[in-house]
Homo-oligomer: A and B are copies of this chain.
């Protein structure tokens, strides 16, 4: 509850500010003997990396992760994995003009009021740079999960009002990494890319929706009552910077259905013909696909001048400066997957205690 540890049995502790010398973390609870492919971890980081394409921020951060412990001859030892990512491309000067200013819809104001001291450079601790730590943690969790049948796939399903209308079952997930937006339908992806470029030209930003599908989940993940699988996923997703909502299965759309339509009827093999439940009943995985949506607001940093206030509560103008994302969705895809993997790894360990 101090805000910097995620998970119970499979745990990630993190530290780091956007413009400090490094960010990093400690992964603990990963059982011993798990083969760790460091390249695969780096690859996940590269999916989140700034500067990876024309439609994301043009900051160039190599984001190389270095591990300091917990690995021996290519495998986990059962002990904590300490890791670092060096902050190499800080342009702290870019932030000097913000020293005493509160940017609209950022955490500048709340952090300053709560802590009374604020590392204003690049958002400090609140910067989305922290999410690189999560991607490392999630990448280790993915490797822990690898021997299971669990497969986590996230993709962009809406940019502004451009929505992907095809159900996920009819999508080819292998397309996701083949376009800049990370939308599995090329036509929609193209339109989305176009929209993002337009928005950037306006110096503006835009929101959207990421869908995540978890396939091959064994029956029985999740705890009843207060640690339901979907409740922990909700918490995880609302943890992501700029996220504003979470729905799973039938979600908000299902609220206007009748019970007789919404109930998922069982087949003899225990599967259900429909899956409005979203693969979870009573907080516990059913063995069917889990799927959920995460809403992202438009990024608060825009390249337009805005009025705001400073520390003394005087009216000021914030100038649009720096290198920022017009739309966070493409880079948020690996983040959604990472936190999902961490949640599942935790529940996989928890489940072992019942047998």
Query: Is A77 within 8 A of B119, CB to CB?
Result: yes
Chain A 275-306: CB-based contact to B (< 8 A → 1; otherwise 0):
01110111111110000010111111110101
Question: How many Å lie between the Cα of A205 and that of B257 in the bound state?
Answer: 9
Query: Is A220 within 8 A of B107, CB to CB?
Result: no
Question: How many Å lie between the Cα of A313 and that of B21 in the bound state?
Answer: 48
Question: How many Å lie between the Cα of A293 and that of B234 in the bound state?
Answer: 13
Interface with B: A26-34, A145-153, A178-186, A330-338, which one? A26-34
Residue on B nearest A239 in the bound complex, by CB: B231
A53 at the interface (CB under 8 A from B): no
Query: Is B28 within 8 A of A264, CB to CB?
Result: no
**What count of chain A residues pass the 8 Å CB interface test?**
152
Q: Contact partner of A111 among B81, B161, B239, B284, CB < 8 A?
A: B284
- With A78-B354, A309-B270 as given contacts, are A282 and B238 in contact (CB-CB < 8 Å)? no
Query: Is B263 within 8 A of A1, CB to CB?
Result: no
Chain A 214-228: CB-based contact to B (< 8 A → 1; otherwise 0):
000001101111111
Question: How many Å lie between the Cα of A230 and that of B14 in the bound state?
Answer: 20
Query: Is B68 within 8 A of A24, CB to CB?
Result: yes
Query: Is A281 within 8 A of B107, CB to CB?
Result: yes
Shortest CB distance A264–B (Å): 5
Shortest CB distance A76–B (Å): 8
